[in-house]
Structure 1
Amino acid sequence: MTIRQPSAPLPLLWLLSDARNDAGIEEALDRLPRQSGFVFRHYHLDPLARAARFAELVERARENAHRVILSGTADQAIEWGADGIYGAPSRLGPNSASLLRLATAHDAGELREAERAGADGVFVSPVFPTRSHEGGATLGMDGFHTLAQRTSLPVIALGGMTAERAAALGWPRWAAIDGLSRSPNSA
């Protein structure tokens, strides 16, 4: 299957934000290789606090030449200065030439929806057990590869990912919350 590529190459490494990694996220952004990706979620904040936190973090991300993606609407992403949007295929809205559109998918049906929505890439999850979905079903390595082979979209592995798990999975493009937020010296 031919992998469709977005107009600009997608980074190989992606950091996602949420309440549990907020306290150390600036340092995590600094540790990422230059030109990595950052998905700002921060669903735990009210709208004003969320906008303010995004403004702080986008500046730090830009210092490291990271692509910045907002979990929000296209209009919001443009207003806030994000490079793109992230979410379920149904939330991506109409194509916008100026925004990178990254979908989420947990099964073959959502993968097809991402393709129909014209996504530029797709986060396929959860590959491994994750704190985001404690006790939930996972794809495992075989399930992940089966889904990844069913699409021409660039696939980003998500869910319980670490550098070691990405290597075991044999997949170069991956994302994490905890797996990229802890400093190398922390337990």
Structure 2
Amino acid sequence: MRQPSTGRSPLAPALPDLWLLSDARNDELLPRALRALPPGSAFVFRHYHLDPRSRRARFDELVPLIADGGHLAILSGSDDEAKAWGAAGSYGPPEAVGDAPDLLRIAAAHDAHEIAHANAAGADAVMLSPVFATRTHPNVQPLGAERFHALAALAEMPVIALGGMTPERARELGWTRWAAIDGLALKQDS
């Protein structure tokens, strides 16, 4: 069993408030969405639908847009993969949080058990979901505002709200650090 990290990344205090996640349904909209993000936002590249070679090629296509916006590039994958791809951090389940002090380590969590794992692993942030109903997980009961806040209080690191999030929902939730797939990629014209 891997020992917990001795500390969080020195990059952690500069975590952005706004996070765009990629997936198959927002792929063609990503260039426009990355250009529309406020400077210094974060982009989590997932693209699980692609084979490894195509996934790397798509990431490389997006890197200039990420850099132009001054965004953080976070790769869903291992710390080693994130370093090899030139990403600023890694994203994945709490049990996969590595101990690379030069990378941001973002853990995905859905309940108190996973938040406890993220705490023990020394994750730099936890992405807690689904806050509201979402197309990504249509058959999963959303946390809702009350449960989200209760779970967020258990985290020993910054919490990023995910799941059905839009600017309006973030205000409703009273949470400034949030992430979205559709809420940032599909609604840019509204």
Category of TM-score, reference length = shorter chain: over 0.9
Among candidates 100, 115, 118, match of residue 96 of structure 1: 100
Q: Mind listing any 5+ residue stretches in structure 2 that lack a counterpart?
A: 1-6
Q: Report whether the alignment pairs 1:106 with 2:114.
A: no
- Of stretches 128-137 and 169-178 in structure 1, the one that deviates more from structure 2 is 128-137
Give runs of aligned pairs for residues 15-54 of structure 1, distance below 5 A: 15-54=20-59
Among candidates 160, 163, 174, match of residue 159 of structure 1: 163
Residues 8-63 of structure 1, C-alpha deviation per residue, up to 9 Å, x if partnerless? 31000000000000001011000000000000000000000000001111221011
Find the counterpart in structure 1 of residue 92 from structure 2: 87
SS in 1 for 2:106: strand
Q: CA 1:111–1:138 in 2, change beyond 3 Å: closer, same or farther?
A: same
1:64 positional shift: 0.4
Residues 88-144 of structure 1, C-alpha deviation per residue, up to 9 Å, x if partnerless? 011123x11211000011000000000111100000000000001002111000000
SS in 2 for 1:132: coil
Aligned-pair Cα RMSD in Å? 1.3
Find the counterpart in structure 2 of residue 134 from structure 1: 138
**Does the Cα contact within 8 Å between 1:148 and 1:155 map onto a contact in 2?**
yes
State the one-letter code of the partner of 2:52.
P
Find the counterpart in structure 2 of residue 76 from structure 1: 81
SS in 1 for 2:131: coil
Distance 1:164 1:103 in 2: 25
State the one-letter code of the partner of 2:186.
R
1:183 positional shift: 4.2
**Does the Cα contact within 8 Å between 1:122 and 1:156 map onto a contact in 2?**
yes
Instruction: State the TM-score, normalizing by the size of structure 2.
Output: 0.92
Identity %: 55
Superposition misfits of 4+ residues, deviation over 4 angstroms: none
SS in 2 for 1:131: coil
Q: Mind listing any 5+ residue stretches in structure 1 that lack a counterpart?
A: none
Distance 1:164 1:6 in 2: 31
**Does the Cα contact within 8 Å between 2:21 and 2:44 map onto a contact in 1?**
yes
SS in 1 for 2:38: coil
1:78 positional shift: 0.7
Distance 1:105 1:146 in 2: 13
Equivalences, count: 182
Distance 1:184 1:11 in 2: 19
Distance 1:92 1:183 in 2: 32
State the one-letter code of the partner of 2:10.
S
1:152 positional shift: 2.0
Distance 1:76 1:59 in 2: 19
Distance 2:8 2:170 in 1: 21
